[in-house]
């Protein structure tokens, strides 16, 4: 028997429907608040996938990296603006596998070990987290597993090698022979070159490799200098001319996502709209695999408020209203603690919470000062707004947006900006939101799963029609911002979206909340009921087997 079977096997007999052995590679996983190896949506999605695979008794394991300093801890400076803290994380509950081996990075052997997350701790499939933070390594080698999405280019390439080559080699050490290698984004693509060296045929790699692309954004589809990758050992010793031939990369730039699409037997986008956008994006290239749609989803067991659903299903409206107010109170305790603002559970509360990035337009609602002031100072129909989210620590534009909202919150006692947007705070924000505000520029948000978990806690989506929203939303469960004219300039689209946002907020949302509470309650219930079961991750995990792994 293999080491995996004797020491790390699944704590269940795998369902015959899900018997193919799958290794799921992801740069980040949001499994539990205490395990800070994630930055945002990609990790939230991967965490839900691992939980659903466990619930469905799937023959799948997770491969990630144990980031010593996590992504970063979001803290405040003296003036309440945000600051970045890199603090060592300790995880006594992770088990030492006793496995050590080397991978080649930049012509040097780097020692790697893996820590094991037992399934019973957080109800996930068996998971392994790679680290180079070992005394056998020099400081540079140790630092490969320090910072998620390191800003240094060479360090980032080294991390990609660690995830891909280190992950594939770990599977050999475990004796776990996957039928399928699933790349959750292209960060782990180096595994394909390890497999190419192992099998010597691209066809053997292709029949084992599947790929999920998560974003149409340029920053999420990275391209690096192909000579740097070759120098650093990314291609696992494959002859450079052969690399060019099999990848189709004939200039100086290596496009990870394009090569993943060339090497995989099949790929998927993460919503119906995103798959359409992805197909159009990659249509000019030849030799790429088919791109299908498997819409992202989130795990109800972890995210959903069970009491609220019990009240909805048993028509206990009065108890539902009381429960929602209680959940709002729990969020508002955090608001008071962090920001010194005392919010009321009787007041309509809007929440914008996700990664701060330009296209997500965190500040959009504030952009017409006169209309914003009219809404935020209305005494008859008051509104409370909360923002939260982590910018990339080197994205100074996004940090500036975050800080400008912090300074705005000092002017208005009914505006708060919270730091530390991780699993725990994300849950609280969804507990307390009446409206989940989501206003990215269409079609740049591939999925946007935060709105799903908001629904699971009695929030109503107020959204542009991007990502998963067109598959879910209608006028009975959401407030939809009409599509802006995409033939117009970005500034014109922003202006159109902003005017529509204000009109819907002033003429529909606020009057319904205060003047027609029965209508509001009906919409809230519809929001909760419509999100299940399709936008629950058990459906998604099943579809991955049906549409991707068994393809």
Distance CA 227, CA 396 (A): 29
Q: Where are the domains of the chain?
A: 3-298+539-549, 300-535
Packed helices 423-432 and 317-339: angle between N→C axes, nearest 10 degrees: 130
Using the Cα atoms of residue 191, residue 196, residue 202 and residue 205 in order, give the sign of their dihedral.
negative
Q: Kindly report the number of other CB atoms within 10 A of residue 97's CB atom.
A: 19
Full pLDDT tens readout for the chain, 551 residues: 999 999 999 999 999 999 999 999 999 999 999 999 999 999 999 999 999 999 999 999 999 999 999 999 999 999 999 999 999 999 999 999 999 999 999 999 999 999 999 999 999 999 999 999 999 999 999 999 999 999 999 999 999 999 999 999 999 999 999 999 999 999 999 999 999 999 999 999 999 999 999 988 766 789 999 999 999 999 999 999 999 999 999 999 999 999 999 999 999 999 999 999 999 999 999 999 999 999 999 999 999 999 999 999 999 999 999 999 999 999 999 999 999 999 999 999 999 999 999 999 999 999 999 999 999 999 999 999 999 999 999 999 999 999 999 999 999 999 999 999 999 999 999 999 999 999 999 999 999 999 999 999 999 999 999 999 999 999 999 999 999 999 999 999 999 999 999 999 999 999 999 999 999 999 999 999 999 999 999 999 999 999 999 99
**Rg of the chain's alpha carbons, rounded to an integer?**
24
User: What is the pTM for the complete model shown?
Assistant: 0.97
pLDDT of residue 215: 84
pLDDT of residue 208: 98
Which residues neighbour 47 within 8 Å (Cβ) at sequence distance 6 or greater?
A: 29, 30, 31, 38, 124, 299, 302, 423
Q: How far is CA 172 from CA 130, 176, 195, 357, 504, in A?
A: 14, 6, 11, 39, 56
Q: Where are the alpha helices (DSSP H) in 236-271?
A: 240-247, 256-263
Q: Where are the alpha helices (DSSP H) in 33-146?
A: 41-55, 119-122, 139-142
pLDDT of residue 219: 64
Distance CA 38, CA 64 (A): 10
CATH architecture of 300-535: 3-Layer(aba) Sandwich (3.40)
DSSP letter for each residue of 9-24: --SSPPPGGG-S-EEE
Q: Kindly report the number of other CB atoms within 10 A of residue 302's CB atom.
A: 22
Task: Return the structure tokens found at 130.
Answer: 């790679």
Distance CA 393, CA 85 (A): 10
Distance CA 462, CA 435 (A): 6
Say whether 300-535 and 3-298+539-549 share the same fold: yes
Half-sphere exposure of 263 (CA within 13 A, CB side): 35
pLDDT of residue 218: 66
CA 159-52-423 angle, to 5 degrees, is 60
β-pair type (253-255, 82-85) = unpaired
> Could you tell me which of 308, 441, 395, 439 has the C-alpha nearest to residue 450?
439
Q: What is the CATH number of domain 3-298+539-549?
A: 3.40.50.2000
């Amino acid at each position: 028997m293999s080491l995996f079977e004797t020491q790390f096997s699944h704590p269940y007999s795998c369902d015959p429907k899900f018997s193919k052995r799958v290794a799921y590679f992801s740069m980040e996983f949001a499994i539990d608040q205490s395990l800070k190896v994630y930055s945002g949506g990609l990790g939230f999605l991967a965490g839900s996938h691992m939980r659903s695979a466990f619930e469905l008794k799937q023959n799948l394991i997770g491969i990630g990296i144990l980031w010593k300093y996590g992504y970063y801890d979001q803290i405040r400076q003296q003036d309440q603006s945000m600051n970045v803290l890199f603090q060592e994380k300790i995880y006594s509950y992770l088990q030492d596998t006793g496995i050590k081996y080397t991978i080649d990075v930049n012509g040097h052997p780097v020692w790697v070990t893996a820590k094991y997350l037992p399934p019973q701790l957080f109800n996930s499939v068996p998971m392994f987290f790679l680290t180079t933070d070992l005394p056998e390594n020099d400081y540079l080698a140790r630092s490969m597993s320090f910072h998620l999405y390191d800003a240094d280019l060479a360090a980032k390439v080294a991390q990609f090698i660690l995830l891909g080559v280190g992950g594939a080699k770990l599977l050999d050490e475990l004796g776990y022979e996957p039928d399928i290698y699933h790349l959750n984004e292209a960060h782990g693509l180096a595994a394909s070159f390890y497999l190419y060296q192992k099998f010597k045929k691209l066809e053997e790699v292709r029949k084992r490799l599947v790929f999920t692309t998560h974003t149409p954004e340029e920053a999420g589809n990275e391209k690096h200098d192909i000579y740097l990758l070759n120098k650093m050992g990314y291609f696992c010793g494959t002859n450079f001319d052969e690399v060019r031939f099999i990848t189709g990369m004939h200039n100086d730039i290596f496009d990870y996502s394009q090569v993943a699409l060339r090497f995989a037997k099949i790929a998927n986008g993460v919503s119906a709209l995103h798959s359409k956008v992805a197909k159009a994006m990659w249509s000019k290239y030849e030799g790429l695999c088919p791109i299908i749609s498997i819409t992202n989803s989130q795990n109800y067991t972890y995210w959903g408020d069970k009491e609220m659903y019990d009240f909805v299903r048993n028509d206990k409206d009065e108890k539902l209203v009381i429960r929602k107010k209680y959940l709002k109170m729990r969020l508002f305790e955090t608001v008071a603690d962090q920001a010194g603002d005392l919010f009321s559970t009787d007041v309509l509360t809007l929440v914008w919470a996700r990664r701060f990035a330009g296209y997500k337009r965190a500040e959009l609602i504030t952009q017409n000062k006169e209309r914003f002031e009219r809404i935020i100072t209305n005494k008859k129909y008051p509104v409370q707004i909360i923002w939260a989210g982590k910018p990339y620590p080197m994205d100074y534009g996004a940090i500036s947006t975050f800080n400008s909202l912090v300074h705005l919150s000092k002017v208005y006692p009914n505006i708060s900006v919270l730091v530390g947007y991780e699993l725990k705070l994300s849950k609280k924000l969804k507990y307390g939101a009446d409206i989940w505000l989501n206003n990215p520029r269409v079609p740049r948000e591939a999925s946007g799963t935060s709105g799903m978990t908001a629904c699971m806690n009695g929030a109503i989506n107020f959204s542009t029609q991007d990502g998963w929203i067109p598959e879910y939303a209608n006028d009975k469960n959401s407030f939809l911002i009409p599509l802006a004219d995409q033939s117009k300039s970005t500034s014109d689209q922003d202006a159109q979206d902003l005017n529509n946002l204000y009109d819907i907020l002033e003429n529909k949302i606020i009057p319904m909340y205060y003047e027609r509470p029965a209508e509001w309650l009906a919409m809230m219930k519809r929001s909760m009921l419509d999100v299940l079961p399709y936008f629950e991750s058990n459906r998604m995990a099943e579809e991955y087997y049906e549409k991707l792994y068994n393809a």
